[in-house]
Amino acid sequence: MKISFVDPSDAKGSLAVLSFEDDGLSSAASAVNDSTGGAAMRATGASRFRGKVGQIAEILAPGGVEADRVLVVGAGKADKLDRDALERIAASAVKRVLASGEKSLTLRLDGVKVSADDAAAAGVAAHMAAYRFDHYRTNLDADKKPSLESFQIAVDDAAAGEDAWSRYQHIAEGVSLARDLVGEPPNVLFPAAFAERCQALEAQGVEVEVLDEKKMAELGMNALLCVGQGSRKESKLAIMKWMGGDNDEKPILLVGKGVCFDAGGISLKPGDRMWDMKADMGGAAGVTGAMRAIAGRKAKVNVIGIVGLVENMPDGDATRPSDIVKSASGQTIEVQNTDAEGRLVLSDALWYGQTHFDPACVIDMATLTGAMVISLGQEYAGVFTNSDTLWSGLEEAGKNGSEQVWRLPLADGYDRLLDSDYADMKNIGGRAAGSITAAQFLGRFIDKDRDWAHIDIAGVAMKDKRDDPREPVWGTGWGVRILDRFAASREK
């Protein structure tokens, strides 16, 4: 779907106009209402329309305007029209007509106090709302296929809107890339295939290096390798470099968990909904999508993205519960549960990133624990960090990128739960505080005095509900926007 910014006089196709809870119709909506002989007011009055954000009253074939339909979209309270509300408005309008047979839709934001950046963010939301993963559907009925081909946002300064969109469109593409990665079946997207998707970012100017199992073995990355040793698919480590900042500027290091399928290994998962585990690479997908966004908009910052790519399968060669492995950092790990594998992958990936790039800060992202879903549901991702400054930056980036985060604690008492009688640590800390002990495990592989944050996205990376018009059912592409916004905050 093509997205563009236009002058109000160039509006075409169906129209979407705003109505506020407290202020009534926007100026553009009032003009449409007058042209249609009061049809907009009658439509809202004849329904339970109250102007809440995203609520829609639809008028088909109205007289007095060229549009085949007019959507009166609720915008909430006028003094609270923020970026998130604008995104929901745009996404709701697109969702309403996406498969309606309509080919073009214009959202009228003229006359409304909206910055060019916020209007561009609404464009991102429209792009997200139009996303479909229909790659493998061969018999979809024609009336269920998307028909919408273009989405215009009419603003008072179209040139400023287009300029902002020239940057924001890459964020939209990054989200779509992450969603595509999460949506692919594991017989298509195994570690080597994922690495190839990373290498495709070279077209955006990203430098990509892929390590194979032989090279990782030479480096002593046995924690990562032990996860994939029960699979016929070779494990990989993909390193993506975007060096858009100064030569002497230390990079931001982004590390993603890329378990392309997680059967649990010898600690086999229950069969019910095991198919969900094709998405256990959601952290790696988010990091890869963020690298696409950062490089696409030519960000003036240095960023390294590393994704550890494995498949966790049961096999005669698979790691056994009670095995002890020596990580690349030199620390030994008693593997008590092979289904706590993501932290093993991340431990060596974190080591590699720190030793090879000496980053200014480290952010890892992973669908790490089911306990996070119990803690925060599907609304917030959990953040564990040793840096108040890093937390503040992520919290602000989440607000600006519509990906909310909540900070959870780290403490010595939780860390002691990982102590092992036979090795330096075990890979699980027991049933209590599972998300916290997982984070504490990762913290053991962070250099002293290095700013680090771990984001557990188990509850937000995949969803089975349609509460947010920006999100599809299943892979959300979560993480692209917050990581891109965080990188933007570090640009000079």
For position 401, what pLDDT does the model report?
81
In this prediction, residues 51-73 reach a mean pLDDT of: 96
* Predicted pLDDT at 190: 98
Confidence of residue 492 (pLDDT cuts 50, 70, 90): confident
- Average pLDDT score, the chain: 97
**pLDDT, tens digit, 9 for 90 and up, residues 135-147:** 999 999 999 999 9
The answer to whether residue 466 scores a pLDDT higher than 80 is no
Cα pseudo-dihedral 484, 465, 457, 314, rounded to 10: -130
User: Of 132, 269, 300, 463, which is the active-site residue?
Assistant: 269
Q: What confidence tier does 457 reach under pLDDT thresholds 50, 70, 90?
A: very high
Average pLDDT over residues 333-348: 98
| Residue type (1 letter), 471 | E
415-420 long-range contacts, Cβ below 8 Å, gap at least 24? 415/440, 415/443, 415/444, 418/444, 420/334
CA-CA distance, 255 to 258, in Å (whole number)? 9
- pLDDT digit string (tens) for 479-491? 999 999 999 999 9
269 is known as an active-site residue? yes
Task: Output the six-digit token pair for 220.
Answer: 């002593």
Is the pLDDT at 400 greater than 90? The verdict is no
**Cross-strand bridge partners of residue 254:** 305, 363
Domain with CATH 3.40.220.10 in the chain: 2-156
Predicted pLDDT at 300: 98
Report the C-alpha gap between 30 and 173 in whole angstroms: 35
pLDDT confidence of residue 467: 83
pLDDT tens-place string over residues 427-436: 999 999 999 9
User: 């480290």: which residue's tokens?
Assistant: 362
Condensed to tens digits (0 to 9), the pLDDT of residues 409-454 reads: 999 999 999 999 999 999 999 999 999 999 999 999 999 999 999 9
Question: Using CA atoms, how far apart are residues 59 and 312, in angstroms rounded to an integer?
Answer: 52
Q: Identify whether 297 is a catalytic site residue.
A: no
2-156: which CATH architecture? 3-Layer(aba) Sandwich (3.40)
Please give the average per-residue pLDDT across 356-369, as a whole number.
Answer: 98
Domain with CATH 3.40.630.10 in the chain: 173-489
The verdict on domain 173-489 having CATH code 3.40.630.10 is: yes
SS3 310: strand
User: Mean of the pLDDT values across residues 314-329?
Assistant: 98
What sign does the CA torsion over 100, 105, 111, 114 have? Answer: positive
Q: Tell me what pLDDT residue 464 has.
A: 80
Per-residue pLDDT at 465 exceeds 80: no
pLDDT (0 to 100) of residue 398: 96
| pLDDT score, position 76 | 98
Q: What is the pLDDT of residue 415?
A: 98
Of 411, 269, 422, 257, the closest CA to residue 333 belongs to 422
**Amino acid identity for residue 134 in this structure:** D
- Helix ranges (DSSP H) in 297-409: 342-357, 370-376, 388-400
What are the structure tokens assigned to 365, written together?
């992202």
Q: What percent of the chain has pLDDT over 70?
A: 100
pLDDT at 9 over 80: yes
- Report the pLDDT averaged over residues 352-362: 98
d(CA 240, CA 330): 25
